[in-house]
Chain A
């Protein structure tokens, strides 16, 4: 058990059948998460981040969804497990926090009841013990006077509090992997920082692996150890967080980092943008998926799809011309704008 990674996703492909035909939302995604590390998954809306997460949890409607590839969690392929076994894994070994804390709690139960429920289901504890554990979890997430709060209903507490409750609920059974699907998007920056800190502290305490899905590169820089950048259902670049910010290689990543406004920059200067729009999932370009929007695209890019290539520094990249681009433009131009 010790030598195999906590989570290893191999060539995951998730397809939905719809009236328009089959749509491939995730296409050949490969990454791994180890104990005690935070993998950031970034990309714009609709690039398949959330679908990847839901595939790992097998939360999608299985009637209209087809999975290919492997999702190995502690050496077991989750995609071949029966639904019954998944029930034991969800919430117990892998937990998930959702983006919208405002609607992620059932309005008819007190927050204590909701946290206690997961504990009762997975740990065979009595109601009273589970309640005590719920109070303990709430205290860990930094909620003041948790013994009072457990009896409150979700509408009686603020958004930041609710997200803490969600975290307490997700971590109540001490899972070894936490999937956080844009946990801070709906919160203001102060609360955002606090929530990230809570997740980070608990990660260290429980030695969990965390998969942090976000589109906020600031969040990535703050908490992640490694980053996978996704575009249209594929991982296009993966590296440790410093390398990504210091020397991004994929034109899309470079574009993203260049688009971050800086506080010291010239105010009259226009912000950098990536030309074009994300193609629809039922109309995916044949070659490199980024080619239609890429300033460096050649004929090869349009006709042939590049593979995820591993470099010697551990960086992985899906681009035909990344070396050329690096040579031509160097790294300096990006660093100055990104940091």
Chain B
């Protein structure tokens, strides 16, 4: 914090700029020194590139059938081999990546927003708390996959409905995390001090409690992202998710199950990508928690 140089008219603005710049540099430094979050981010970037560039560089479309060339081994033409209809697996896995990551991201964003609102208001108003938490207890009593299958059965097999089903199954988890940290924050002296300063309930909830619950929320949401990818794959594998012939990692695995002894590539490639996506997100989430937790980054602050 050494900025004791020329002091003139614009010194306030200049000071503000300097301090903000220094903060930014510190944040970047901290990010790069955290190996977990770095590894997670690199893997995530790779997966995103794969999902968007993969379909472009592949000469085949995911639905293009070539019966003569069924279950071909990985080769220079079909990088990941072909499936039981002779469709190019690389193209299918890349398109599947779009579906899976898309579903995962939508679920993560939706659960974060809805869970946050529910959690914050439940923590602040005790009557609402009883109602909302009993509802979420009921939702949590079902295994995720069973609840999602039930919802899919009602709504019909479509990618949008997968998002809805998984979101509904995961909202209670996020809402509880937000609620529990908001309950702690609510009792802090600075919230009472803000009330004594005339802040309205709305202001307290959104401006003062919310920022303090963001770090557990973000961490939880990265896990929800990962779980959503697994759930989507599981649903598609069971035939209750993304319907054939559209590719998703789950239904490619399903197709591969029948020929698992003859065509290992149909199981290994989509499986590897699921593992990589979930691992990347978990690493990212873990690293993020260390990064956002003020207690763990003291060592780096001079």
Contacts and interface: CB of A to CB of B under 8 A. Distances in A.
Given A59-B195, A96-B196, A108-B212, A103 B15 contact: no
| Residue from the set B3, B192, B196, B207 with the largest chain A CB neighbour count within 10 Å | B196
Interface string A103-127: 1111111000000011001100000
B193 A96 contact: yes
B211 interface: yes
20 contacts: A59-B196, A63-B126, A86-B198, A87-B200, A90-B198, A91-B196, A96-B193, A96-B196, A98-B193, A100-B189, A105-B190, A106-B194, A108-B212, A117-B197, A118-B197, A118-B198, A121-B197, A121-B198, A132-B12, A169-B197
Given A87-B198, A95-B196, A151 B212 contact: no
Contacts of B207: 117
A90 to B, nearest CB: 4
A151 B12 CA distance: 10
B189 A98 contact: yes
A151 B195 contact: no
Interface string A60-104: 000100000000000000000000001111111001101010011
Interface of B: 1, 3, 11-12, 15-16, 19-20, 126, 188-200, 203, 207-208, 211-212, 294
A106 B1 contact: no
B193 A155 contact: no
A91 B189 contact: no
A309 interface: no
Given A151-B19, A166-B193, A169-B193, 20 more contacts: A57-B196, A59-B192, A63-B126, A92-B198, A95-B197, A104-B189, A104-B190, A104-B193, A106-B212, A108-B211, A117-B197, A117-B207, A118-B198, A118-B199, A122-B198, A147-B11, A148-B1, A148-B19, A155-B294, A169-B197
A170 interface: yes
B154 to A, nearest CB: 39
Interface residues of A, number: 35
| Residue from the set B20, B126, B191, B194 with the largest chain A CB neighbour count within 10 Å | B194
Contacts of A100: 189
B12 A147 contact: yes
Nearest to B210: A108
Interface of A: 57, 59, 63, 86-92, 95-96, 98, 100, 103-109, 117-118, 121-122, 131-132, 135, 147-148, 151, 155, 166, 169-170
B208 A106 contact: yes
Interface of A is mostly: helix
A107 B198 contact: no
A127 B119 CA distance: 30
A103 B193 CA distance: 10
Contacts of A169: 193, 197
Contacts of A155: 294
Contacts of B200: 87
A106 B190 contact: yes
A29 to B, nearest CB: 19
Contacts of B126: 63
B116 to A, nearest CB: 15
A148 B203 contact: no
A212 B188 CA distance: 22
Contacts of A117: 197, 199, 207
Contacts of B3: 148
A244 to B, nearest CB: 28
A108 B190 CA distance: 11
Contacts of A88: 198
Contacts of A122: 198
Nearest to B212: A108
B199 A98 contact: no
A208 B16 CA distance: 33
